Amino acid sequence: MDDTVPNFNGLSRPEIIPSGRPNHWIFTVRQIPLTLFGDLLFAVHPQSHFMLMKGPAPMLTSEDRVVRAETIVPHLLQTFVDYKADWSTVSDGDGLQAIAPWTWATDDTDLANAISSELKQPGAIEALCSVGTCSTEERGLLRDNWSRLIGSMMKILEKDARRARSRKGMAAALEELSINNTEGPLICYGCLRDRTALPALLKRCTGPRALTLAKAVNLTLPTGDGTSEGTMKPIRRLVVTGKDTPENLQLFFGPNWEYTIKASHEEARIEVLLDPPTGSPSYAMTANAGFGSDAPAWSPRPASEVESRKVAEVTEMQTCIRQHLGDRKEPTNDDMEAIVTPFGPACVESVLWVYHLAVKTMDRGVMPL
């Protein structure tokens, strides 16, 4: 596998990504429908719904799972080697960097075992040589996101049916999807201009409606000078002003916003509804990043029934954390394990999300810089 394994082994591998979510990934390999030009390795971060892809390439041509594993593993490792995320958009990170999963799982038990065995051959990270099997919930998440991905791909191909007849055309269609491109789609779906002509922040069309919305939330879109504040400031600005409708999110982030920023938007909604106090990491982060400077009046939309339940879960978790910590304010990994474990293995993922949001939005004595 040439340099793939040492490159993968050299990646940073945090247990928790800077947004506070577990660094757990699920993946599968599926044949692209309506084409004979290959299969797609499809990885999803369950809590953010963020997706990574590698292909199209022939990965499922053999019925032998051992042979399939030999073919899939190089693509699997390269998927994480190639993708570099800008963690600085969600915390004080190191800018663009690739990370390896802390844990991962796939939807086929036999294939999981075959991939685990194959990973041991070239000497991948020992902890990652054990590939888990997806839970029922994770299988459903893979299925739903795959369906949405194929739906978006078909819309792109409908514009030029000839592209579905070649491997190169299919690869180009995948590249246009912003979930496979860290710089956004190659064209603006609004005005169909080439991406390179668009402003640097969101790589989307800044037509009259987008500019009017930006002015309403006191947000200045960039002029294409290469600067970028990431996506969190515009998401939060829309949330705190109550203008975070699907239509407005699409204006700023394009038609694939549900793929790229939906999870960040949902978390921003809960954070704002919790109204983090001074001393919380969330308050310090937003203050340091200048998210609140020059912001219009605080007027978020009322919580939906689902959001009200999530807010209640977080506040209850905060009470549990305070009782466990006593006079201490800074929870340790041992504290987290002690608080989360009693909920049982079937609930760990959902409880971890609540736990990390709870510690992020409670007073821990963290002051802005």
Establish if 172 belongs to a structural domain: yes
**Amino acid at position 275, single letter:** D
pLDDT of residue 185: 39
pLDDT of residue 16: 82
Domain boundary at 146, 180, 214, which? 180
- Is 365 domain-assigned? no
Q: Which amino acid is at 118?
A: E
The rounded average pLDDT for each run of 10 residues, N- to C-terminus, in the chain (369 residues) is: 81 79 89 64 83 83 86 91 58 59 91 90 77 87 77 59 52 53 39 41 57 83 42 85 90 70 85 92 78 76 94 95 91 85 74 86 85
240 touches 270 (CB < 8 A): no
Predicted local distance difference test score (pLDDT) of residue 312: 96
Q: Does residue 263 fall inside a structural domain? A: yes
What DSSP string describes 256-279?
THHHHTHHHHHHHHHHHHH-PPTB
Q: Does residue 366 form part of some domain?
A: no
Here the tokens at position 131 are 């590939």
Residues 119 and 166 in one domain: yes
Same domain, 45 and 168: yes
Same domain, 140 and 249: no
Radius of gyration of the chain (CA): 22
Domain-embedded: residue 367? no
* Same domain for 102 and 229: no
229 and 107 in a common domain: no
Residue 299 lies in a domain: yes
Do 206 and 229 lie in one domain? The reply is yes
pLDDT, residue 51, reads: 81
Examine the domain organization and report whether 101 and 225 are in the same domain: no
Residue where one domain finishes, among candidates 125, 149, 180? 180
Q: pLDDT value at position 91?
A: 39
- The domain spanning residue 176 has which CATH number? 3.30.420.10
Q: Which domain holds residue 329?
A: 195-360
Contacts 24+ apart (CB under 8 A), 294-300: 294/218, 295/217, 295/218, 295/237, 295/240, 295/241, 296/216, 296/217, 296/218, 296/240, 296/241, 297/241, 298/240, 299/240, 299/241, 299/242, 300/239, 300/240, 300/241, 300/242, 300/269, 300/272, 300/273
12 and 146 share a domain? yes
Domain count, the chain: 2
